[in-house]
Structure 1
Amino acid sequence: MSSAIRQPFKALWVTENGTNNFERFIVQRHTDDLPDHPLLVKVKYSSLNYTDALSAHGNKGITRQYPHTPGIDAAGVVVKDDSGQFQPDDEVIVTGYDLGMNTPGGLAEYIRIPSEWAVRCPSGLSLRESMEYGTAGLTAALCVQKLIQMGAKPEDGDVAVTGATGGVGSLSVALLAKLGYTVAAITGKLQANEGLIELGATKVIDRSSLDELAGKSLAKPHWGNAIDCLGGDYLFSLIKSLHYGGSVAACGLASAPTFRGNVFPFVLRNVNLLGVDAVEQPLEAKIEIWGLLAGPWKVAQLEFMTTELSLEQVPKILTQIYNGHSLGRYLIKLAD
C-alpha cells in the first residue's frame, strides 16, 4: 500500500450539519488524509457534472458519508504509484468508478486511488482537453458509439438530442455533427439557439414540443435516432417518435428516473432502447473512447463550449447545476 506523503492541498469540502443541511467550503487537507490506495495524482484539471452537484447537495444515493470531496473527473500527473503501473510525471485521466462518490474526488489538488482506475492520457489530447470533455464527453461518445453499433447512419434522418445545452447534450451535438449526422437539438433554453447552431445542430426545438406527445401511445415518426439526457416522459416521447428500426441511447435522468410507457414502439416499429453508463465501463472501453476523442472524433469546439473556473468558484456553480441553471461545460483549473 501507499507510503505516507504529507503534502498540503486545497479541496472542496461538503459537510452535513443536521438533517438535510449541507454546506460547501474550500479547505486545506493533507495527502496523508487520503485513502490508502497505491496511486497518488497531482490534479491539474477537473470538471463539473450533475453527479457532482448531487453529491455536493447531500444525495445519499451518490455519497453515503460526509464530510466528503466530490468530483467524478480528474486529470493530472502521477506523483507516486506503489503498484508500479505508472511512473512519476505520467499524465493520467480518471473518470468514474467510485471517484468523487464515496472516494475523495477530483475537486481537489490531489487524489489517491486504485491504479486500475486511471487511463494514460493519449497522444493528441492535453490534460486540459481531457477535462473539457470529462465524463460528459466520455458519455456522449459512448452514446454515439452505441448508436453506430446498432447501425445508425447519417442518411437515417435527424438525430434528436435532449438536454442539448447540458454537458453531455452539447458534446453529443458537436460529435454527431462532426461525424456527418444532422442533429435536432431539443432544449428548454431557446436563448441558447445560436450556440447550439454553432456546435453543429441543424435545428433547435423547444422541449415543450415533446410534452404534446406524452399522452399518445404512438406518435408520428420524427427522428432517425436519438440521444436522451433527461429521462422521464421525454425519453418515452422520443421512443415513440422514432422511425422504424431507430434507436435511442439513454444516459441521463435530469428530468425524472421513470417514465410511462407501452410496448407499441418496440413491437410495431422495431425500435431499440439502449442504456449507456460511463461510470463502471471496463477500463479497456474507456481507453478506446479516449483514443477516439483524441483522434478521429476530436471536437474542434471544446474551448467554445467550456467555462474555466477556479476551485473557489465551484460551490456557487454546483448550486446552479443542481437547480438546472447551467450551460455547456465547466473546467476547473487546479494547477499550472
Structure 2
Amino acid sequence: MKSFQALFIEKEADNTSLHFRETTLDNLPENEVTIEVHYSGINYKDGLAVLPDGKIVSEYPFIPGIDASGIVVESKSDRFQVGDEVIVTSYDFGVSYFGGYSEFIRVPAEWVVPLPDGLSLKEAMILGTAGFTAALSVDALEFSGVTPDAGKIAVSGATGGVGSLSSAILAKRGFSVVASSGKSDAKEFLETFGVTEVVPREAFQPEKVRALDKQLYAGAIDCVGGKPLAYLLTAVQYGGAVTTCGMSAGGKLDTTVFPFILRGIQLFGIDSVLCPMPKRERIWGRLATDFKLDNLESLATEVSFSELPEALHRVMNGGVTGRYLVKIK
C-alpha cells in the first residue's frame, strides 16, 4: 500500500515536538483489523500526550489520539468485514499503542466497536471518549434510580467535553441541569446544551465543606474531582447518586461517611478505558437512540488534520470550550 500521513510526537532532551510524517502499514503494529480513519477528536489526555511531562507517552516517536472512527480495509477477525464502519476508543489506544491521528490504524479486534445504526462516523467522533464517558455517567445515575422528577442534577466542569455532553444528554432525558464553570462564556454555551442554570465554579467549592450540607440536588455528575466532588457528596438529597470521572481539581477526596450512611447516597466511579465490550456496545447503542442529541453537529468545532497540532496546544492552554472534531480523511 502507498504511504500515508500520521502525526508523530517526538522527544529530544526535555522537549517534545509534533511532526507529520509519511509512513506505511508495515510501520504499524501487527494486529487483526486495519482501518482507514475518517475522523478523530481531541481529549484532555491527547493534550497531555503532547507535553514532555504529561505522563501519557513513554516511548517516542509515537502517534497519539485516543479516538478514531473509520472503515475496515482489512480484517483477520470473523467479527469484522471489509467495508464495516467502526469506532475505536479506550484500552491502550493512543496511550501506549499507536493512536488515531493517522490516516490508517491497525488494532486488536477486541478494541473495535461496530458503528451503531443511527450514528455517522462523524457524529461518533463528536462524541468520542468524552461522549462515551458522559453516557456512562448518565446511565449510572439512571441505574441508581434517579429520575427527572426527583430534582435537579449538578454537573461540575460543565464546559469540558464530558461535562457539556453529560449536560446535553441529561437535558435530552428530561432532567433539570445546574452546571458550574469558571469560563466567562459558559452561560451562552451551556444553554445550547439545554442547561437550565449556570453557576460559577466557586458554587461547588465553598470555603468550608461540611459533613452534610443542604440537600439541593437529586444527583450529580462530577468531572473534576477534588473539593467540588467532596462538596457535591454533601449536597445530594436522600437516596441520590453522584458519578465521578475526572481529577482536574485534584485527586484527593476529603470527605466523611455521613452522606453515605445518613442519606443513603451512592457514588459511582466511571471508567471508560476497560469498560467490558457488552456494556460498551450497549452504551454506544444508547448514544445512537435514546441518548442521541438532535443538534450534535453544532456542538463541536471541526478542524482539519493539518490544523491538529495547533488545536492540541489550544486544548492545553485552556482555550477550548466543548469538543474538537478532527477530520482525518
TM band (smaller chain): over 0.9
CA RMSD of aligned residues (A): 1.4
Return the offset for 1:297. 1.5
1:110 and 2:95 matched: no
Match of 1:95 among 73, 83, 89: 89
- The alignment partner of 1:243 has SS state of strand
Give 1:94 shift.
0.7
Q: 1:85 is aligned with what amino acid?
A: R
Contact 1:229/1:253, CA 8 A, preserved across alignment: yes
Q: Which among 219, 224, 235 is matched to residue 218 of structure 2?
A: 224
Matched, 1:264 2:263: no
| The one of 35, 41, 48 aligned to 1:47 | 41
Instruction: Give the equivalent residue in structure 1 for 2:147.
Output: 153
**Counterpart position of 1:9:** 4
Equivalent of 2:72 in 61, 65, 78 = 78
Deviation at 1:156, TM superposition (A): 1.4
State the AA in 2 paired with 1:326: V
Residue aligned with 2:38, SS:
strand
The one-letter code matched in structure 1 to 2:19 is F
Ranges in structure 2 where 5+ consecutive residues have no aligned partner:
none
| TM-score (structure 2 length as normaliser) | 0.96
- SS of 2:229 mapped into structure 1: helix
User: Is the counterpart of residue 122 in structure 1 residue 122 in structure 2?
Assistant: no
Provide the C-alpha distance between the structure 2 equivalents of 1:213 and 1:267, rounded to a whole number of angstroms: 24
Distance in 2, Cα, partners of 1:114 & 1:221: 46
Mapping 1:158-237, distance limit 5 Å: 158-237=152-231
CA contact (8 A) 1:214 1:233 kept: no
SS of equivalent residue, structure 1 residue 74: strand
Query: Who is 2:23 aligned against?
Result: 29
Report what 1:240 is aligned to: 234
Q: Does 1:18 align with 2:21?
A: no
Whether the 8 Å contact between 2:46 and 2:65 is mirrored in structure 1 is: yes
2:231 pairs with 1:274: no
How many pairs are equivalent? 329
1:292 aligns with 2:286: yes
User: Are the equivalent residues in 2 in contact too, given 1:190–1:206 (CA < 8 A)?
Assistant: no
Distance 2:244 2:215 in 1: 18
Deviation, 1:71, is: 0.8
Measure the CA separation in 1 of the matches of 2:208 and 2:62: 39
- Could you list the per-position Cα deviations for residues 141-176 of structure 1 after superposition, in whole angstroms to 9, with x for gaps in the alignment? 000001111101111111011111111111111100
List alignment gaps of at least 5 residues for structure 1.
Answer: 1-5
Query: Hey, what does 1:317 align to over in structure 2?
Result: 311
Shift of 1:9: 1.5
Q: Which moved more, 1:10-19 or 1:167-176?
A: 10-19
